[in-house]
Copies of this chain bind each other. A is one copy, B any other.
Amino acid sequence: MTVATTGEFGLIARITARLGIGPACLLGPGDDAAIVAAPDARVVASTDVLVDGRHFRRDWSSAADIGHRAAAANLADIAAMGAVPTALLVALCVPPDLPVAWAEELADGIAAEAALTGACVVGGDMSASPTLTIAVTALGDLGGRPPITRAGARPGDIVAVVGRIGYAAAGYTVLSRGFRSPKVLVDAHRRPRVPYAAGPDAALLGATAMIDISDGLIADLGHIAAASGVHIDLSRAAFVIPDQMRDAASALGVDPYTWVLAGGDDHTLVATFPPGTELPPQWLPVGTVLAAPALVTVDGKPYTGSAGWDHFPVIGLG
């Protein structure tokens, strides 16, 4: 059965019936708008869009995987502000020949990823389109804390990352060469494992700036460097390349540091902390913040590998 059979309202009804309810959901799907608790009296909001063939491939990832990733990309943005996600809204554009089961599995993936953070899907929209497109908006709450923006890094700060880094890019390379293993890398491309709680935790630890790694560590630190007017220097030796990543890199003839330093889509967090901050063990110090000019270096030198990716120049779409 395809979505052309159920029609727009039929598909919405089927998907809505599968969604769970979260504590912040005061009014869920089915009215003109949803109502979400915002106890902080400020709401954190972010939107990301994923396009079929560009941000995901249906032959590489299951519908559930794609749902997890669409949700994670947005929920990570909320965590990167130091906030706790509360709700998602999903605008889904589907080709009429899409199987209903695929759309349902996608919705299950989105809802399951949201549930990891306590958030839930509170609303959305659906339309037919020749191009399968998933636009997700995430909302979150700061719990009375100031937001951690990109603009607060100060000379002397420690740069630290939390979570898996380079895994998603490695998995992408593996898949693009036609392989399906190592599974840990491929799965990391399919479903990023985001340390959501580390976002608010970083705020409590006094983080001065934070961002989620979507474009690549150097590119994303470049956003912090630009917004804060600081020079960020990374120490290549600080990064531990796990055995499976090293083996895959060797087999594929790739420098694994390219994945770690320039690979995106892990949606884990990198933050700056005041000097002397006692970081819990999940945070790995990887560099220091120096005075302007705004730039990012590795061991004091400009990074000469790939520097993250911008959509249009990379892949031409007709």
Question: Which residues of A are at the interface with B, using a C-beta cutoff of 8 A?
Answer: 3-4, 6-9, 26-27, 30-51, 54-55, 76-78, 80-81, 83, 87, 89-93, 95-96, 122-131, 133, 135, 137-140, 142, 147, 149-151, 210-212, 227, 310-313, 315-318
Contact = CB atoms under 8 A, between A and B. Distances in A.
B211 A32 contact: yes
A133 B93 contact: yes
Contacts of A130: 130-131, 317-318
Contacts of A135: 47, 49, 91, 125, 133, 135
Given A27-B147, A33-B78, A128 B45 contact: no
26 contacts: A27-B149, A31-B149, A32-B81, A32-B211, A33-B140, A35-B81, A35-B142, A36-B45, A38-B40, A39-B41, A41-B41, A45-B87, A45-B139, A46-B123, A47-B124, A48-B91, A49-B92, A49-B125, A51-B93, A54-B127, A91-B135, A91-B137, A127-B311, A130-B317, A130-B318, A133-B133
A53 to B, nearest CB: 8
Given A32-B77, A96-B317, A47 B137 contact: yes
Contacts of A32: 46, 76-78, 80-81, 150, 210-212
